[in-house]
Chain A
Amino acid sequence: MSDDARRLHPVDVVIVGGGWAGSIMAKEMTEAGRSVVMLERGPDRSTAADGAYPASIDELEGNFRYKLFQDLSKNTVTIRNNSHQTALPYRRMAAFLPGEGVGGAGLHWSGVHFRMPPDDLRLRTRVIEKYGAKFIPEGMNLQDYGVSYEELEPFFDKAEKVFGTSGEAYMVKGQVVGKGNVFSPSRSDHFPLPALKDVYTAHLFRKAAEEVGFHPYSLPAANASRQYINPYGAQMGPCNFCGYCSGYACYMYSKASPNVNILPVLRRHPLFELRANCHVLKVELDADGRRATGVTYTDSDGKVVTQPAEMVILTAFQFHNVRLMLLSGIGRPYDPVHNEGVVGRNFVYQNVTTSNVWLDRSIDTNQYVGAGGGGVAFDDFNSENFDHGPLGFVGGSPVWVNQAGVKAIAAAHSGGPPGTPRWGSAWKAGVIDTYRHSLRIDAHGANMAYRDVYLDLDPTWKDAYGQPLLRMTFDWKDNDIRMNRYVVDKIGDVAKAMGARRVNLTKREFGRPFDTRQYQTTHLGGGAVMGTDPGTSALNRYLQSWDVHNVFVIGANAFPQGTGYNPTGMVAALAYWAAHHIRTTYLSHPGPLAG
Chain B
Amino acid sequence: MLAGAMLAVMVCGLAARAQGQAQGDVIARGEYVARAADCAACHTVPGEAPFAGGMAFHLPTGTLYAPNITPDRQTGIGQYSEAEFSRALRRGIRRDGATLYPAMPYPSYARLTDEDVHVLYVYFMHGVKPVAHAVAQDGMSWPMSMRWPLSIWRTLYAPDPKAVRHDMDRRTFADPLVARGSYLVEGPGHCGACHTPRALTMQEKALTAEDGPLYLSGGDAVDGWRPVSLRGENRTGLGRWNEHDIVRFLATGRMPLGAAFGGMTDAIGHGTQHMTDEDRLAIARYLKTLSPAAPAVARGWTYDPAMTDALHAGDVSARGARAYVDSCAACHRTDGHGYPTTFPPLAGNPVVMDPKPDSLIRIVLEGNTLRATRQAPSAFVMPGFAARMDDHAVADTVTFIRAAWGNDAPAVTAADVARIRRTLSPEHPPVSVPMN
Contacts and interface: CB of A to CB of B under 8 A. Distances in A.
Interface of A: 44, 46-49, 52-55, 226-227, 232-238, 240, 242, 251-253, 259-260, 263-265, 267-268
B380 interface: yes
A31 to B, nearest CB: 15
A49 B330 contact: no
Contacts of A267: 435
Given A252-B330, A253-B342, A267-B435, A234 B377 contact: yes
Interface stretch (B87-95, B98-106, B183-191, B368-376): B368-376
A260 B436 contact: yes
Given A44-B435, A46-B434, A263-B435, A235 B330 contact: no
Given A46-B434, A49-B433, A227-B342, A268 B377 contact: yes
A235 B375 CA distance: 11
Given A227-B342, A235-B342, A252-B330, A264 B377 contact: yes
Given A227-B342, A234-B436, 14 more contacts: A46-B436, A47-B381, A47-B436, A48-B379, A48-B436, A52-B381, A53-B330, A54-B327, A227-B340, A234-B377, A235-B377, A236-B378, A237-B339, A237-B380
A481 to B, nearest CB: 43
Interface in B310-348: 327, 330-331, 339-343
B375 A233 contact: yes
B383 interface: yes
A536 B372 CA distance: 47
Contacts of B377: 232-235, 264-265, 268
Nearest to B369: A48
A372 B281 CA distance: 42
* Most chain A beta-carbon neighbours within 10 Å: one of B339, B343, B388, B433: B339
A264 B383 contact: no
Contacts of A53: 330, 383
Given A53-B330, A232-B377, A237 B343 contact: yes
A227 B435 contact: no
B435 A242 contact: no
B339 A227 contact: yes
B375 to A, nearest CB: 7
B341 A235 contact: yes
Interface in B390-436: 433-436
Given A234-B377, A264-B377, A227 B436 contact: no
Contacts of A242: 330
Nearest to A251: B330
A253 B254 CA distance: 16
Contacts of B433: 46, 48-49
Contacts of B372: 264, 268
Contact of B378 (A49, A55, A253): A253
B340 A235 contact: no
Contacts, number: 78
Contacts of B340: 227
Nearest to B327: A54
Contacts of B330: 53, 240, 242, 251-252
B435 to A, nearest CB: 4
A235 B255 CA distance: 13
A46 B378 contact: no
Interface string B109-133: 0000000000000000000000000
Nearest to A238: B339
Contacts of B342: 227, 235-238, 253
Nearest to A53: B383
B379 A264 contact: yes
12 contacts: A44-B435, A49-B433, A52-B381, A227-B341, A234-B378, A235-B378, A236-B342, A237-B342, A240-B330, A259-B435, A264-B435, A264-B436
Contacts of A235: 341-342, 376-378, 380
A93 to B, nearest CB: 26
B394 to A, nearest CB: 16
Contacts of B376: 233, 235
Contacts of B375: 233
Nearest to B384: A52
A240 to B, nearest CB: 6
A237 B331 CA distance: 9
A385 B380 CA distance: 43
A46 B436 CA distance: 5
B249 to A, nearest CB: 15
Given A227-B342, A234-B436, A259-B435, A264 B378 contact: yes
Interface string B354-382: 00000000000000010010011111110
Contacts of B341: 227, 235
Given A238-B339, A240-B330, A252-B331, A260 B378 contact: yes
Nearest to B380: A253
Nearest to B254: A235
Contacts of A238: 339, 342
Contacts of A54: 327, 383, 388
A268 B435 CA distance: 11
Contacts of A259: 435-436
A240 B434 CA distance: 22
Sorted nearest first, the 3 A-B pairs with minimum C-beta distance are A235-B378, A264-B436, A48-B381
A263 B388 CA distance: 31
A54 B436 CA distance: 17
Contacts of A260: 378, 436
A263 B377 CA distance: 10
A349 B369 CA distance: 42
A49 B162 CA distance: 53
A242 B433 CA distance: 24
A242 to B, nearest CB: 7
Nearest to B326: A54
Contacts of A48: 369, 379, 381, 433-436
A45 to B, nearest CB: 8
Nearest to B373: A233
A466 to B, nearest CB: 32
A97 B342 CA distance: 31
Contacts of A253: 342, 378, 380, 436
A385 B388 CA distance: 53
A452 B383 CA distance: 52
A48 B434 CA distance: 7
